[in-house]
């Protein structure tokens, strides 16, 4: 991935394919290369030029450990789209969906269509409690035992349907056990972005075509919150996918990719 000065920071990004530009925005604590597993190949094969990048907070993009705001992430994405000769279709998941939602509101000139995976315009009580608990673990320097942490990650992010088969369940647990790195200052700064109010009324001013996708078994961002975003945006569509949790784009990539491609091609 090349590093470029984007919106005053060093931002790490990658572009593959040719055609209309699609920018993929990842969620909290994850690098942009996660999209390379399933979404990038499908979009490139469908004739799109696809950009993935590491949000500020995720090295080698500047970590900005002294603090990150949602406005920073929106401005970074807007500047990247302009750098690449936008406008662009944008697809975001979780925190990335929030960035895409705010970008569609603030810079409709840069957004052709927007897809929000695990969208939310407000947080419920469980989300707030989980976020505060996670920050408390960080403040106290507590590291959960590897196998327990992997199990908690699976429970919070996967559908029960993905854990029925014992071999598949063990594969997921092994992935979570071996892929978790130490929580960096940049990731901690991203986690603090969990504090925000109710944005649903503001989303009533979004004018670009939007698709909100909810994952039926999502425990971190329940599907009813994604449905609220779809309802709040005039003319937006809402689609709920069964048998997938917060990592629906990894659990059921064919269904997620089909939903994205169908919406972008219309």
Active-site residues, by number, are 94, 218, 246
> CA 144 to CA 147: how far, in whole Å?
8
Q: Where are the alpha helices (DSSP H) in 160-222?
A: 166-179, 185-191
> CA 226 to CA 152: how far, in whole Å?
23
> CA 30 to CA 81: how far, in whole Å?
20
Angle between helices 166-179 and 146-157 (to 10 degrees): 120
- In the chain, at which residue ranges do the beta strands (DSSP E only) sit? 3-6, 9-16, 20-25, 48-53, 88-93, 111-117, 210-215, 237-241
On whether the CB atoms of residues 128 and 100 are closer than 8 A, the answer is: no
**Closest by Cα among 125, 69, 124 to 98:** 69
On whether the CB atoms of residues 186 and 58 are closer than 8 A, the answer is: yes
């Amino acid at each position: 991935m090349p590093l470029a000065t984007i919106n005053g920071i060093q931002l790490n990004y990658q572009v593959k394919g040719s055609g209309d530009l699609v920018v993929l925005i990842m969620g909290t604590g994850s690098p942009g290369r996660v999209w390379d597993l399933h979404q990038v190949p499908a979009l490139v094969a469908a004739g799109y030029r696809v950009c993935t990048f590491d949000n500020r907070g995720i090295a080698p993009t500047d970590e900005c450990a002294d603090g990150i705001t949602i406005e920073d992430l929106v401005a970074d994405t807007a500047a990247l789209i302009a750098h690449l000769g936008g406008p662009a279709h944008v697809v975001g998941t979780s925190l990335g969906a929030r960035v895409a939602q705010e970008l569609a509101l603030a810079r409709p000139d840069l957004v052709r269509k927007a897809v929000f995976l695990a969208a939310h315009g407000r947080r419920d009580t469980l989300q707030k409690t989980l976020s505060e608990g996670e920050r408390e673990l960080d403040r106290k320097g507590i590291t959960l035992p590897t196998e327990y942490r992997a199990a908690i990650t699976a429970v919070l992010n996967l559908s029960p349907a993905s854990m029925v088969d014992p071999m598949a369940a063990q594969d997921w647990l092994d992935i979570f056990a071996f892929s978790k790195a130490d929580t960096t200052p940049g990731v901690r700064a991203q986690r603090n972005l969990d504090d925000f109010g109710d944005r649903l009324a503001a989303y009533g001013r979004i004018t670009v075509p939007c698709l909100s996708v909810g994952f039926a078994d999502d425990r971190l961002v329940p599907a009813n919150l994604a449905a609220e975003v779809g309802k709040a945006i005039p003319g937006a569509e809402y689609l709920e996918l069964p048998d997938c949790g917060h990592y629906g784009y990894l659990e059921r990539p064919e269904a997620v990719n089909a939903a994205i491609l169908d919406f972008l091609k219309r």
